[in-house]
Amino acid sequence: MSSVRTKITFTYLLFSVLIISVLGILFSIEIERYIFDRLLGTLNTETKALSAILHEGSGGAEQRGEKAKELNAVAKASLMRITLIDSSGVVFYDSSVPDSLLHTLENHGRRPEILEAMHSGTGSNVRTSRTIEHDLVYVARQIDVVEGPSVVYPNLQFIRVSVELTDVNKIMYEIRFKIVLAAIVVLILVIIASQVISRRLSNPIVEIGDIVKEIKAGNLDQKLPVRSQDEIGRLAGLINEMTDRLKADIEQMKKLERVRSEFLGNVSHELRTPIFSLKGFLETLIEGAIDDKTVNRAFVEKAYHHANRLDGLLTDLIEISRIESGEMKMSFRYFEVCSWLKQLAADFADIASKKKQKVVVEVPDSEILVLGDKDRLKQAVGNIIDNALKYSSDGTTTFVRLEEIEGKVVLSVSDMGPGIEPEHLPRIFERFYRVDKARSREVGGTGLGLAIVKHIVEAHGSKISVTSEIGKGTTFSFELKK
């Protein structure tokens, strides 16, 4: 009983046996009753016919011999036993008993069919005959007033006919045999049909089971055939969808894993350069340069510069890992963006002045409220302005603009720097991607600035865009939520 197939077959079989048995029993009972009723009907008609025969003629007692012959012939032809009984129960004719032995018969007045006929005109009974020791059905009839007394047998009160039940029993036996035969045929058909149906049901389930086993073992390229739109078909479809999803998730995980180890490699590499330089300067100083007044200060300053770079790198690394792990929570508030931008630009005045550069802020006169995390946006826009100043040559101007275009607030930073080649543009937001590595190091870049900018802008539901023209300058811009 462990497989679905056995369960289905067994259930079908059980119900079929039950239904067939109940129907078979009811059917045979009904048929038996019908046949028996018909037999009683026929015998009843026979008694009427016999009564007519016995009322025929006018010869009186002289005709008895002839009548007896006639009755004998009828009894023989119809395989019936005919008995004539008088009002006191005495048998004065019986087709199965010679006249000479009639006096040995016991009184029939208390026979059930006679008692019934006495009451209601006709009576019937089934029993084993004491006279001939066979199962017999008896039908008796009382001569009624309308018929009047028989001329031949004036004593005649009851006409009784009986037949052996053997024939009826034989017919019933045959019918029952046929019913059982039909039931066996139906059962065989049910077994075959249930096997076919259960196989149809269980085969796809077994198939699904096999493939799920494969999937469990890691073979995600398996596809289940969807052959129908029923529950099994839908299940196969769902499993296929699940496998596809799993496959995509695994791909994504592998990709993330690759990115992670690539990042780790990059980080180690990035850290190594300043540490190596720092170590080098310190070693030179230890090995004697510390006492050489012409170089010692320059070397210490250089060591300090590399330590500074290392600090910047670590700060950016911590920042980006906090953003990417989701640890850094944004707190969005409405704030006035024009004054905020002016303040931010002013913070860069010192750095700009070192290269005789200018930071010009162009904002509308009105106050504009935007929704965002002020500190994070300061970091993002700060990184963009910082890059503009770093990569542009001395004496240039960087424009920080805020415009309202079609109801949208757009913040942009444009510089007069060297510009970025189109092929590099899509990649500058990647971690550690630099157009010119040497130049980036020289100006103290970490390669993480724009990656941080991208994250912050995207966390504000916006998108950073960049346009650039070689020799003319670069513009970074993004929209702010009002």
- Which residue lies nearer to ligand ADP by CB, 95 or 396? 396
- Which residue lies nearer to ligand ADP by CB, 123 or 445? 445
- Which residue lies nearer to ligand ADP by CB, 226 or 328? 328
Nearest to 365 by CA among 394, 327, 339, 384: 339
Q: Taking the complex as a whole, how short is the minimal distance between the CB of residue 387 and ligand ADP, in angstroms? A: 3
Q: Taking the complex as a whole, how short is the minimal distance between the CB of residue 205 and ligand ADP, in angstroms? A: 56
Radius of gyration of the chain (CA): 58
For residue 119, count CB atoms less than 10 angstroms from its CB and return exposed for 0-12, middle for 13-18, buried for 19 or more: exposed
Rounded to a whole number of angstroms, the distance between the first and last alpha carbons of the chain is 69
Q: Taking the complex as a whole, how short is the minimal distance between the CB of residue 391 and ligand ADP, in angstroms? A: 4
Q: Taking the complex as a whole, how short is the minimal distance between the CB of residue 265 and ligand ADP, in angstroms? A: 18
- Which residue lies nearer to ligand ADP by CB, 274 or 445? 445
Under a CB-based contact definition with an 8 Å cutoff, are residues 417 and 474 in contact? yes
Q: Taking the complex as a whole, how short is the minimal distance between the CB of residue 353 and ligand ADP, in angstroms? A: 18
| Site of tokens 């046949």 | 35
Q: Taking the complex as a whole, how short is the minimal distance between the CB of residue 388 and ligand ADP, in angstroms? A: 5
Nearest to 425 by CA among 357, 356, 475: 475
DSSP conformational letter for 61: G
Q: Taking the complex as a whole, how short is the minimal distance between the CB of residue 375 and ligand ADP, in angstroms? A: 19
- Which residue lies nearer to ligand ADP by CB, 36 or 433? 433
Helix (H) or strand (E) holding 318: helix 296-324
CB atoms within 10 A of CB 278: 19
Under a CB-based contact definition with an 8 Å cutoff, are residues 337 and 369 in contact? yes
Q: Taking the complex as a whole, how short is the minimal distance between the CB of residue 386 and ligand ADP, in angstroms? A: 8
304, HSE (Cβ side, Cα atoms, 13 Å): 6
Nearest to 79 by CA among 143, 168, 180: 168
| Site of tokens 């369960």 | 7
Cα 288 from Cα 280, distance rounded (Å): 13
| Site of tokens 């005495």 | 90
- Which residue lies nearer to ligand ADP by CB, 123 or 449? 449
The secondary structure of 282-299 as a DSSP string is HHHHHTTGGG-TTTHHHH
- Which residue lies nearer to ligand ADP by CB, 198 or 475? 475
Q: Taking the complex as a whole, how short is the minimal distance between the CB of residue 451 and ligand ADP, in angstroms? A: 6
- Which residue lies nearer to ligand ADP by CB, 381 or 428? 428
- Which residue lies nearer to ligand ADP by CB, 168 or 420? 420
Cα 243 from Cα 245, distance rounded (Å): 5
Which residues bind to ligand ADP, rule: CB under 6 A?
387-388, 391, 415, 417-418, 420, 428, 433-436, 440, 445-451, 474
Q: Taking the complex as a whole, how short is the minimal distance between the CB of residue 323 and ligand ADP, in angstroms? A: 14
Cα 109 from Cα 119, distance rounded (Å): 12
**Which residues contact residue 389 at a Cβ distance below 8 angstroms, ignoring those fewer than 6 apart?**
348, 351, 352, 355, 357, 359, 398, 415
- Which residue lies nearer to ligand ADP by CB, 56 or 436? 436
